[in-house]
Amino acid sequence: MEDANIDRHAETRGEKTTVSKDAILHSALGMIGNTPLVSLERIHPGPGRLLAKAEFVQPGGSVKDRAALRIIQDAYSAGKLSPGKPVVEMTSGNMGAGLAVVCNVMGNPFVAVMSEGNSPARARMLESLGAEVVLVPQVDGAPGQVTGRDIEKATERAVELAQTRGAFYVDQFNNVSSVLAHEAGTGPEIWEAVGGEIDGFVAAVGSGGAFVGTSRFLKRRKPSVYCAAVEPEGAEILAGKKVTKPKHIIQGIGYGIVPPHWDVSLADTTIAVSDEQAARFRKELANKEGLCVGFSAAANVCASLKLLSSGRLGASPTVVTILCDTGLKY
């Protein structure tokens, strides 16, 4: 059988092929974090660099794996959770997948409460990870387009269920561990990978964990790092605009609410991306870079290019963004 840990081409390059002790992980949890930073030089040959953090390579397939791990770890440390106790969360699918992975390894049953509007591929993935999936009918959204009111309804159901089951309720929109996961993980990883050479950071906002935590760390290290929050066009609440288009295809972000984690002092600007632009960049990422990712990842790349071409960051800036989830969930 092929050993995945051995680089078969290393010998021909004259490198040693010994597998280090660290090559063996103790569980799937070891696959969370330390994601690669990929240069998107076919989409952006320059001037400057566009680097993308490939969050979709984690076992739950998205950036939310980090928040899931940190939330469960912190709940154990605080004595709020112990093996066997159920865990409940309202999720658009990605947090649920991360929680399913973490809960399986830790020995906690997991119940995912989802709006019916999220893609069926997400519910299937959760079920194949052994999670109990509770689907909540939509209030005013449509399939593939989940609104703030749909999220509210699903949240109510999740809170109810957590109470009746005596479960730990994750509450990602209010749980600060989600921000800390990025402040202690994503931010430092980016900083180290670029050796401090970073001018801009661009990220889409759902609960705000990724944007707030990462920006907070980067700005602490280098206050001039220009941080841009990405919103769907027509649902630009963070830009202070009225929400005119609550239904959009960029799942996982843009619920038309200012999330509780939001910290306005970290956002130097907001950038809007339309459904058409997100769909176009999703294809570009696949066709030019070989990266099959979701709509929010594509929106991040589109917004990063808008920032790079604005000239705001100087002649040859480095911009880092997030590839939030795998395109296989759509």
Ligand X SMILES: Cc1ncc(COP(=O)(O)O)c(C=O)c1O
Residues designated as active site: 64, 296
Nearest distance from C-beta of residue 300 to ligand X, angstroms: 8
Stretch touching ligand X by CB under 6 A, among 71-79, 89-97, 264-272, 306-314: 89-97
Residues 58-77 that bind ligand X (CB under 6 A): 62-64
Residue 85 or residue 150: which is nearer to ligand X going by CB?
A: 150
Residues 216-275 that bind ligand X (CB under 6 A): 251-253
Residue 43 or residue 323: which is nearer to ligand X going by CB?
A: 323
144 in helix, strand or coil? coil
Measured from each CB, the residue nearest to ligand X is 252
Residue 325, interface with ligand X (CB under 6 A)?
Answer: yes
53 within 8 A of 62, measured Cβ to Cβ: no
**CA distance linking residue 316 with residue 323, whole number of Å:** 22
Nearest distance from C-beta of residue 185 to ligand X, angstroms: 12
DSSP for 152-214, please give it. HHHHHHHHHHHHHHTPEE--TTT-THHHHHIIIIIHHHHHHHHTT---EEEEE-SSSHHHHHH
Residue 136 or residue 205: which is nearer to ligand X going by CB?
A: 205
Candidate residues 61, 141, 206, 246; the one interacting with ligand X per rule CB under 6 A = 206
Strands across the sheet containing 318-323 = 37-39, 49-54, 318-323, 200-204, 226-232, 269-273
235 within 8 A of 204, measured Cβ to Cβ: no
Where along the sequence are the contacts to ligand X (CB under 6 A)?
62-64, 92, 94-95, 204-211, 251-253, 294, 296, 324-325
